Structure formats: structure tokens, C-alpha cells
Amino acid sequence: MRAALHTGAGAPLTIEKIDLREPGPGEVVVDLEAAAVCVTDVLATEGLTLVPPPFVTGHSGTGTVTVVGPGVTRTRVGDRIVTAGSAECGVCYPCVQGTPSACDDIFGGMVPPRAVATRASGEPVHVDGGVGVFAEQMVLRESGIVTITDALHAEHAALLGCGVLSGLGAVFTVANVRRGSAVAVVGCGHLGLWMVQGARLAGAATIIAVEYDRRRRSLAGELGATHVVDPADGDPIAHVRELTGGRGVDFAFEAGGSTSASEQAFAMARAGGVVVTTSMAQITDLVTLNALDFGVGAKRISSSQSGGGYLKRDIPLFESLLARGDVTAAPIVSATYSLDDINVAFAAARDKEVITGVIRL
Ligand SMILES: [Zn+2]
Ligand SMILES: [Zn+2]
């Protein structure tokens, strides 16, 4: 079985033959078909993970179950599944409190790291975040996979566990955008373009796309933004206030991947408004927010880690929205690659040359 291995900081990923182990209790083996490249995966190879190399990254993929381990109850051989960046064990404290997107098993793939295979030398191979889908096959935890139908192309289904889940989940689950409301999306790429589509579907009257890249701005317009703002063209916060009668937006979404984008989204929200951030910045990064806006301004902040909801509830719902054509992945999957070209795909994601690249396995 071939996989893309991260072997140490600064080294390009190497495609290696590794020996996958048998599935243990609650695990399945999946023949992977496609996997989306997310900046989170790139950041993991740059040190944003607790997992020691060598490891396989990739958290959002799709494939078919070929073996089920002991104790697997709801997944069968032949099931078409998708993976996500959250495990949702169902029994840990965050899960039973109704916040499964913060499941303890997110770190359960990191501390201790989850070993899934061995190299020819006998050295163990781990997976980042407990998943690892940049491989032809993978041993996955049943708690982190969701069975889907045959409705979608694999290249589109591969986005369900990442951009679709976090982007649409931000709108429908975390923020609960209401009909007629005003929305701003700061950063219109891999996640932000799903937020724009979700806001349109939720009936937002004003959808302001804030984005540097001209092509992404025009795509945001095609997918539902009513206004586009280029941050290079004057203060974007003032621009958003101008478009909302000086008040600010009801819902401000950050999908720009930087601390400044988070600060901008916070400043764009009206008093009493909701701010949803998705940024995966470096561990040491800090965000500075105006204290008065918390107190008197009563702004509320939440993240959209894995969409803030239940994988087994939300992924089938979002799959049906895609299958019905209510939202579209076609313009968002802007490049596909073979596993051998994964370093090209990572560079394109890092440099924002593509919106979402997909690896065909
Ligand atoms: Zn849990
Ligand atoms: Zn992701």
C-alpha cells in the first residue's frame, strides 16, 4: 500500500510502500478514492501537530470499507464512507455535553499518536489527527467515519469532511443564520465559499465577501455574495459598516486563516452580533480584540471546528444539499492530482493557487 509520508520538518512528502496493520476493535480498513487538501494538513507538516514523524496527513477523504474489525456495529464491508477531522467518540465529556466537534479523540490521535502501519525498516508510521487519508488504504476508527450514498462524485464527496462541514456548519449550526440577515465572510476560499453558499441558502439578505484575490471575489459573487470587498481597496471594516447602514453585520465569518482576518471579522459584527472563526494559525499566535466590544458590545464568538455539530447528523444533510444542487462543489474543486504529485498539491494550497485541490487515490 502506498502513502504520502511526512518524515521530518522541511523534507518534502515521500511516496512510500508501507504495511498497514489489521483493524483493531472499533476500526475498519478503507480503500480510499479521493482526499481533499486542506491547509491544516500543510500546517501539520510544518509543525502544527503533536504527532512525531513519520506520519500520514489528510483528514477529509472518501472511499469504500473493505474490512471491519471486532466491535464494529454500524459499518459494513462495501459501505461508501467519508472521513472528517473529528472523531466524535460519543462517550467523552465534550461529546455527552453536546459539543462532539470538540471530542477528546481529536487529541486521541496525537497523544499517544495512533500507529497504523510500519515502514520497510520496521519503523512505526502514525497518522496526523487520527485520520491520514493521503494513502491508498487506511485503518480508520468507526467513530470518525460517516456512511454516504452514491449520489456524489468522489472528488466532491472528498470535501464533505472539511470545507463543506466546517463552512456550512458555521452558517447552519454554529451561527444559525436567519432569513433576511446581514453576513460578512472574510476570506473566500476552501471554507469561505461554503459560508457564502450557506448564507445564501439560509436566506441572508446581504452577503459581503471580503477577499484579496480577484478570481475568488468573482466566484463568491457567482455563488451568492451580494457585495464584494477588496481589502486592498481601503479599510474593509469601514466598507462593511458602510454597506450595513453603519451598524455592522449580524453574522461575521472568518475563513482567512490569519489572526488579522479574525480581528477584522470581530470588528465587522454589529453590537450583539455573532462572530465565527475557523483560523488555524500557529500555536503561539494571539488575537487582539476590543474589550468594550465584548462587554457593552455583547458580541459572541465561536469556532467552527468540524462544523460545530454532529458528523453523523450533518454530513448526510450536507451531502443531500450537494446532491440536490442547493450548493455546488464544482467550481471549488479547482485542481486534481495523483498521489505522486502531492507536493505540488501542498504547494498550491499553501500559496492559495487553488481553492481546493483533491488527490485521486
Ligand atoms: Zn468524544
Ligand atoms: Zn480541513
Please tell me the distance from the alpha carbon of residue 30 to that of residue 108, in angstroms, as a whole number.
20
DSSP element (H, E) containing 194:
helix 192-201
Closest ligand relative to 169 C-alpha: 2
Tell me the three cell numbers of residue 169.
456548519
How remote is the CA of residue 164 from the centroid of ligand 2, in Å?
A: 9
Q: What is the pLDDT of residue 237?
A: 97
Q: What is the pLDDT of residue 356?
A: 97
Mean pLDDT of 262-271: 96
Residue 125 has pLDDT above 90, yes or no: yes
Cα–Cα nearest to 194, from 150, 235, 156, 250:
156
How remote is the CA of residue 244 from the centroid of ligand 2, in Å?
A: 31
Q: What is the pLDDT of residue 295?
A: 85
How remote is the CA of residue 260 from the centroid of ligand 1, in Å?
A: 31
How remote is the CA of residue 99 from the centroid of ligand 1, in Å?
A: 9
**How many Cβ atoms are within 10 Å of 113's Cβ, its own excluded?**
21
* Buried-state track 256-271, b at ≥16 Cβ within 10 A, e below 16: bbbbebbbbbbbbbbe
End-to-end CA distance of the chain: 11
Each residue of 64-99: pLDDT tens digit? 999 999 999 999 999 999 999 888 889 999 999 999
Each residue of 299-351: pLDDT tens digit? 999 989 889 999 999 999 999 999 999 999 999 999 999 999 999 999 999 99
Contact 166, 299 (CB under 8 A): no
Residues 6+ apart with CB under 8 A from 227: 206, 207, 208, 209, 243
Residue 109 has pLDDT above 80, yes or no: no
Closest ligand relative to 38 C-alpha: 2
C-alpha torsion sign, points 12, 47, 134, 37: negative
How remote is the CA of residue 49 from the centroid of ligand 2, in Å?
A: 14
How remote is the CA of residue 332 from the centroid of ligand 2, in Å?
A: 14
- State the average pLDDT for the chain: 94
How remote is the CA of residue 312 from the centroid of ligand 1, in Å?
A: 13
pTM for this entry: 0.96
Closest ligand relative to 90 C-alpha: 1
Q: Which domains, ranges and CATH numbers included, belong to the chain? A: 2-159+329-360 (3.90.180.10), 163-305 (3.40.50.720)
Query: HSE (CB half, 13 Å, CA atoms) of 338?
Result: 3
Closest ligand relative to 105 C-alpha: 1
Mean pLDDT of 290-294: 85
Q: What is the pLDDT of residue 87?
A: 84
Q: What is the pLDDT of residue 108?
A: 67
The confidence band for 159, taking pLDDT boundaries of 50, 70 and 90, is very high
How remote is the CA of residue 151 from the centroid of ligand 2, in Å?
A: 22
Each residue of 200-240: pLDDT tens digit? 999 999 999 999 999 999 999 999 999 999 999 999 999 99
Cα–Cα nearest to 85, from 100, 70, 68, 95:
100
How remote is the CA of residue 153 from the centroid of ligand 1, in Å?
A: 30
Q: What is the pLDDT of residue 78?
A: 98
Q: What is the pLDDT of residue 293?
A: 85
Q: What is the pLDDT of residue 24?
A: 97
Amino acid at 272: G
Contact 128, 109 (CB under 8 A): yes
CA distances (Å), 266 to each of 32, 108, 259, 301, in order?
39, 31, 11, 8
Q: What is the DSSP letter of 110?
A: B
Residue 140 has pLDDT above 90, yes or no: yes
Query: HSE (CB half, 13 Å, CA atoms) of 110?
Result: 17
Those residues whose beta carbon sits under 5 angstroms from the ion ligand 2 are: 38, 40, 162
What percent of the chain is modeled with pLDDT above 70?
Answer: 99
For 7, list phi and psi in degrees, rounded to 5. -110, -5
| Torsion, Cα of 154, 141, 316, 253 (10° steps) | -90
How remote is the CA of residue 96 from the centroid of ligand 1, in Å?
A: 7
Q: What is the pLDDT of residue 319?
A: 98
How remote is the CA of residue 86 from the centroid of ligand 1, in Å?
A: 9
Residue 110 has pLDDT above 90, yes or no: no
Please tell me the distance from the alpha carbon of residue 250 to that of residue 265, in angstroms, as a whole number.
11
Residue 130 has pLDDT above 70, yes or no: yes
Each residue of 30-65: pLDDT tens digit? 999 999 999 999 999 988 888 999 999 999 999 999
Closest ligand relative to 305 C-alpha: 2
Residue 282 has pLDDT above 90, yes or no: no
Residue 280 has pLDDT above 90, yes or no: no
Closest ligand relative to 103 C-alpha: 1
How remote is the CA of residue 10 from the centroid of ligand 2, in Å?
A: 21
How remote is the CA of residue 163 from the centroid of ligand 2, in Å?
A: 6
